[in-house]
Chains A and B, each alone.
Chain A
């Protein structure tokens, strides 16, 4: 017996404050599920590691593989575009970053009782894209699945759709439950394409479901796809019955999700960097606004001006609106007035009221054209009082503001 062991043994005999001796529990490798052979028949490979078993499916795609409008290889072109424009943007991926497209399927929506049963990882390499799908063999083999993801080993750029608030926190939860045995989960850079899609297609797409984006923007329509909400039931059934036939459909579903992430990234990059106006005015207006919010005024202005030049006034209303605010911020009041006036003709509801407010301000404070200012204030007052946009107390407050403005301008007019 080694000296250390002996000391340890003596220490235990001492029997003092037992709670202080926190022994690390020994990992007991779980048994393999009985249905291994059947799941293999369905098309899954078995992987065994120190923590148990898991199932795996691997597919390799050549760079020329076309998913909807785009070949996967165009992803590298997209990276080059970011590189060559030298733009700064949260969605920029550097050419030497290691990228991993990431999507999971789970047995529920929240809480510790929700398992991740499928980890889908799509990795771009020089010659191809490699898809690895890891499937939970059964809940007692969870550590094996997590370990195989290698998220304890590498730190990459993880590209997902709603992964920032769902998939990744879920993975963290699972990791915490297995923290006694697994090496630490490492922090990964996150790029969430749901967020960018919301910015780009606000008021353009009704819903931001990935399947809808695919159909309307990426030129991809799924055939024989299972709806995502069935996934938990299908997995539970596969574990209970030992039959993985239907489970494979969930894997295809996950595979499509991942492929679409690649083309969505390509498509979004093109929209953000190339002002070629293949989409509706709203899209580019959104993008212009986004650059504005990122404090990249130059880029923002260029895109918005482009919208006002290329689309008719009807469609460019919002672009004028955002442009006007930029002009005002840069003290180009005349241009601001012009843009607000353009916007006023088109915009409705809340934006229209904001435009009226701005025009009233400009005319009152900068141009000292009180008659005109009064006209806008009157209009604002009229619309606010008949509007159904506001809650009661909100409306009262707004009316108050308008009245104050109106009487002040009246005074200045010497009425």
Chain B
């Protein structure tokens, strides 16, 4: 082992230039030069106490984006500020809000954070600022943890209420009469981490905000929206769609950026035929060790909790001979605030040198700035990658960012094409408030909160016919002038903002008979393959076996086990086209977009041994089929001449695998948000067809975008599969293959047929 010696980033990089072993794995090496700060003076009108507080913090002037924010707010305009990590984004909203409260103490503001933990972090920061101001301004978090004793006070007297969308949805809006002074005087609604409001969650929150605006209008207030977002392709569009209000955009940050060096690191191939590379975890362990020994404070990102735990265990062996050494720490979601404080403090005063984290830290939790960042695998989209990279870089210092590729298709693409990450604009974040199922759910809540008149709309929607439908359902009554809620149900409790499916399966741990406890929840669709009886369910790195699944009651009873296998379940899928909204016909191919119905039938599960991956048992799954309506884009074409159906099956399966890997290049979504399913003989036209559908009931607009950008997706997929160094297909392109055959060529053939037709 090399003797540890402290070095700077620059010194370390200098060394690495001559390290041949390391260098052969570094595919690309790029330095982004430092950018100086751009400042603006304090605004004339800025209240003296605020100025005093800022000066006490050593701030003598504002960054340009902070000043721009203040000016927009003074003009009464809603705006969205795109702010990289550590650019002082919170002042973009604190300043206008505090200014308003000082001018008129009856003013109120709501701060919305995607999670409870973020709200609590921000509260500490804000209260410190208020203390420096020496003014009587009350700010509180209001969430499930808020003590009943102070709730009353928050409702009546809190100037700034910091909460999350879930609490707003079920704890505040349905009880708005208890919050009269808030709603009558609401001047600002701050939405932090705007980019997290995408997909199903974003679509739900869009409705929560429409309901909020409706209640504000009832009490006579018309608040201004202030959003802050990480870099995404469409911040303004997302903000406008989320809030249904016009937004100004602050696109340029005035904060300084230090010199950043990016290394694109690909683990070496250890099995050339199958294209198998060395595990990225092991590579990361070695790289992190080098950084640790050079005394460089680093953050390591891993995608799952299990990987975080693995890396922490590996790295802690570096310190095992030291007593009470805390210099290497894990950081996952679900940590208590006190624990987090301790880690943050440790990072600031240097007692912690390496922190290994899941993407929980992507969000704005303040851990200060570190020197280096290692990404274990591509986080799935450019926006997240930049957020993680943003964790490294102290103001004046050089920063080092190492991206270590996994062997998946997308990871390999990114490592081979550094410009994709460094040069191109990040993905779009999509929401779909028009999802009729989500809309109807929130329309019920809205009707519960305030009656609708015969002429009222809801947000941008015309809803009179929908209200009539709800009347037929028996939850509304129509009087001479209005629609009223008339049911004992409490509609907000029937909706979870975090998933589109109504019901979740609750996971109950009964390892200790006297102390059964709920350890998690899962949507019904995923539960079919992950929580069937005998399934091995992984939770925080612990194995549980599902002992009993009560499908009626949506409860899964699990017990902790220690086994050397995992389970893998099969799901047979039947797809039916219900309605074609868009369609383009070519010579032999057709591409369409529309509504589909999907019948998912769980069939069997296999027990597969770790390491060897041998099949050591199987069983039937006894869960009734699940039906779902959603949106899809599908492509049909003619069977190539001389192909058997079996050949086609393999080719389509491989093509589906490859395509689904590349969709996240274009849309900011999780791989699981969209599903690609091959059908050798589709029910509706009896032709080979690839379906790309939204994985959530009703759809969230992803597959519709796929319809528009199919050509680049296919081009990209073909290019990547062709360029993949493997011979017959591997996990990096078309998925692992059982045997050496012609699959790769067949997949390319299918994809080429489609592309040549559509282009």
- A residues with a Cβ closer than 8 A to B are 19, 22, 28, 30-33, 107-115, 138-141, 172-173, 176-177, 179, 232-233, 236, 239-240
Query: What would 27 A/B residue contacts be, using CB atoms closer than 8 Å?
Result: A19-B222, A32-B480, A33-B479, A108-B488, A109-B488, A111-B174, A111-B175, A111-B492, A112-B175, A112-B177, A112-B448, A112-B449, A113-B449, A113-B487, A114-B488, A115-B484, A138-B484, A139-B484, A140-B479, A140-B480, A172-B177, A173-B178, A233-B488, A236-B474, A239-B477, A239-B486, A240-B486
The residues of B that contact A28 with a CB separation of less than 8 Å are 481
Q: A22-B220, A108-B489, A240-B477 are in contact. Are A140 and B482 (CB under 8 A)?
A: yes
* Size class of the B contact interface (CB-based, 8 Å): 20 to 34
Which residues on the A side are within 8 Å of B449 (C-beta)?
112-113
Within B56-88, the residues touching A (CB, 8 Å) are none
CB atoms of B177 and A31 under 8 A apart: no
B479, A113: Cβ atoms under 8 Å? no
Whether B481 contacts A140 by the Cβ 8 Å rule is: yes
- CB pair B448–A232 under 8 Å, yes or no, is no
Task: Tell me whether A113 and B177 are in contact (CB under 8 A).
Answer: no
A107 touches B479 (CB 8 A): no
Query: Does any Cβ of A come within 8 Å of B450's Cβ?
Result: yes
Q: Given A138-B479, A177-B177, decide whether A107 and B487 contact each other with a Cβ distance below 8 A.
A: yes
Contact residues in A for B347 (Cβ distance below 8 Å): none
Known: A138-B477, A139-B479. A236 touches B487 (CB 8 A): yes
Task: Please report the C-alpha to C-alpha distance between residue A112 and residue B172 in the assembled complex, in whole angstroms.
Answer: 10
B180: Cβ under 8 A from any A Cβ: yes
Question: Which B residues are CB-close (under 8 A) to A236?
Answer: 474, 477, 486-487
Besides the known contacts A139-B484, A139-B486, A177-B177, 14 further A-B residue pairs in the complex with CB atoms under 8 A apart: A31-B479, A31-B480, A107-B487, A107-B488, A108-B490, A112-B450, A113-B490, A138-B480, A138-B484, A139-B479, A140-B451, A140-B479, A176-B177, A232-B487
Which residue of B178, B220, B486 is within 8 Å of A107 (Cβ)? B486
Q: Identify the interface centre among A108, A112, A138: most chain B CB within 10 Å of its CB.
A: A112
- A109–B488 alpha-carbon span in the complex (Å): 7
CA distance A372 to B490 in the complex (A): 60
Question: When chains A and B are docked, how far (Å) is the Cα of A381 from the Cα of B482?
Answer: 68
With both beta carbons as reference points, the residue of chain B lying nearest to A141 in the complex is identified as B479
CA distance A177 to B219 in the complex (A): 9
Q: Say yes or no: is B129 at the interface (Cβ < 8 Å to chain A).
A: no
B176 CB–A CB distance under 8 Å: yes
Q: Map CB proximity to A onto B465-494 as digits: 1 under 8 Å, 0 otherwise.
A: 000000000100101111011111111100
Indicate whether B447 reaches chain A with its CB closer than 8 angstroms. Answer: yes
Cα distance A107–B477 in the bound complex, in angstroms: 12
Interface pair B482/A112, CB less than 8 Å apart: no
A139 touches B220 (CB 8 A): no
Using a CB–CB cutoff of 8 Å, the interface residues on chain B facing chain A are: 174-178, 180, 220, 222, 447-451, 474, 477, 479-482, 484-492
Contacts of A239 on B, CB cut-off 8 Å?
477, 486
- Known contacts A22-B220, A112-B449, A173 near B177 by CB under 8 Å: yes
A214 to B481, CA, bound (A): 43
Rounded to whole Å, the gap between the CB of A235 and the closest CB of chain B is 8
Identify the closest chain B residue to A169 (Cβ): B178
Question: Which of chain B's residues has its CB closest to A229's CB?
Answer: B488
CB <8 Å contact, B174 and A113:
yes
Complex: A33 Cα to B180 Cα, angstroms:
30
State the CA gap A31–B485 with chains docked (Å).
18
Once the chains are docked, how many angstroms separate the CA of A140 from the CA of B485?
A: 11
Q: Which residues of B contact A138 (CB under 8 A)?
A: 477, 479-480, 484
Question: What A residues does B481 contact at CB under 8 A?
Answer: 28, 30-31, 140
For the complex formed, measure the closest distance between the CB of B652 and the CB atoms of chain A, giving whole angstroms. 50
Closest chain B residue, CB of each to CB of A177: B177
Determine the chain B residues whose CB is within 8 A of the CB of A112 once the complex forms: 174-177, 448-450
Closest chain-A Cβ to B494's Cβ sits at a distance in Å of 13
Provided the pairs A112-B176, A177-B177 are in contact, do residues A30 and B489 lie with their beta carbons within 8 angstroms? Answer: no
B488 and A30 form a contact (CB under 8 A)? no
Q: Return the 6 tightest CB-CB contacts between A and B, nearest first.
A: A113-B448, A31-B480, A139-B484, A176-B177, A113-B485, A140-B479
Nearest-neighbour CB distance to chain B for A396, whole angstroms, equals: 15
A269 to chain B, nearest CB (A): 32
**Cβ of A104 to closest chain B Cβ, rounded Å:** 14
CA A232 – CA B474 in complex, angstroms? 13
Contact B490 A110 (CB under 8 A): yes
Complex CA distance for A113 and B178, rounded to whole angstroms: 13
- Residues on A with beta carbons closer than 8 Å to the beta carbon of B485: 113
Q: Which residue of B lies closest to A232 (CB)?
A: B488
The CA-CA distance from A141 to B222 in the complex, in Å, is 28
Q: In the bound complex, how far is the Cα of B449 from the Cα of A113, in angstroms?
A: 6
B222: A residues at CB distance < 8 A: 19
Per the bound structure, the CA–CA distance linking A170 and B222 in Å amounts to: 27
The docked-state distance in angstroms from the alpha carbon of A306 to that of B177 is 50
Please judge, given known A-B contacts A113-B448, A139-B477, whether A108 and B487 are in contact too, CB under 8 Å: yes
Smallest Cβ-Cβ distance to A19: which chain B residue = B222
Once A107-B487, A108-B488 are accepted as A-B contacts, the answer to whether A30 and B480 lie under 8 Å apart by CB is: yes
Q: Are A140 and B484 in contact (CB under 8 A)?
A: yes
- List A contacts of B484 (CB < 8 A): 115, 138-140
Quick one: closest B residue to A233, CB to CB? B488
- Distance in Å: Cβ of B283 to nearest Cβ of chain A: 44
Min distance, Cβ B321 to any Cβ of chain A, angstroms: 34
Specify which chain A residues have a CB less than 8 angstroms from the CB of B177 in the assembled complex: 112, 172-173, 176-177
Residues of chain B within 8 A of A114, CB atoms compared: 488
- The CA of A114 and the CA of B479, in the complex, are separated in Å by 16
- Interfacial chain A residues near B482, Cβ < 8 Å: 139-140
* Min C-beta distance of A244 to chain B, whole Å: 15
- The answer on a CB contact under 8 Å between B480 and A33 is yes
**Which residues on the B side are within 8 Å of A233 (C-beta)?**
488
**In the bound complex, CA of A239 to CA of B474 (Å):** 12
Q: How far is the CA of A108 from the CA of B481 in the complex (A)?
A: 22
Closest-CB distance, B245 to chain A (whole angstroms): 15
Measured between beta carbons, the chain A residues less than 8 angstroms from B487 are 107-108, 113, 232, 236
Residue among B175, B178, B180, B480 facing the most chain A CB atoms (10 A cut-off): B480
Residues in A neighbouring B174, C-beta threshold 8 A = 110-113
User: How close is B311's CB to chain A, nearest CB, in angstroms?
Assistant: 33
- Taking a contact as CB atoms under 8 Å apart, the answer to whether A176 and B180 are in contact is yes
By beta carbon, the residue of chain A nearest B515 is A392
Residues of the B chain whose Cβ atoms lie less than 8 Å from the Cβ of A232: 487-488
- Measured CA separation A31–B478 after assembly (Å): 12
Cα(A233)–Cα(B450), bound, Å: 20
Q: Specify the chain A residue showing the minimal Cβ separation from B451.
A: A139
Q: Give CA–CA (A140, B479) in the complex, Å.
A: 7
Docked Cα-Cα span, A31 to B492, in Å, equals 30
Within the assembled complex, what's the spacing in Å between the Cα atoms of A19 and B491? 33
Complex Cα gap A140–B484 (Å): 8
A31 to B482, CA, bound (A): 11
Q: In the docked arrangement, what's the CA distance between A109 and B491, Å?
A: 12
In the complex formed, the residue of A with least CB distance to B492 is A111
- Given A107-B486, A139-B486: A113 touches B480 (CB 8 Å cut-off): no
C-alpha gap A239/B480 in the complex (Å): 12
A140 to B481, CA, bound (A): 7
Question: What are the residues of chain A within 8 A of B492 when measuring CB–CB?
Answer: 111
B180's nearest neighbour on chain A, judged by CB, is A176
Set of chain A residues within 8 Å of B486, measured between Cβ atoms: 107, 115, 139, 236, 239-240
A22 to B492 CA separation, bound complex (whole angstroms):
31
Alpha-carbon distance A300/B487, docked complex (angstroms): 48
Question: What's the least CB distance linking A23 to chain B, in Å?
Answer: 10
Q: Which A-chain residue is minimally distant from B485 (CB atoms)?
A: A113
* Chain A residue with the shortest CB-CB distance to B448: A113
A30 to B481, CA, bound (A): 7
Per the bound structure, the CA–CA distance linking A114 and B449 in Å amounts to: 9
Nearest CB in chain A: distance from B414 CB, A: 48
CB-CB < 8 A to B180: which residues of A?
A: 176, 179
* Among B448, B481, B484, residue most surrounded by chain A Cβ atoms (within 10 Å): B484
Contacts of A22 in B (CB 8 A): 220
Is B479 in contact with A30, judged by CB distance below 8 angstroms? yes
Closest CB-CB distance, B149 to chain A, in whole Å? Answer: 15
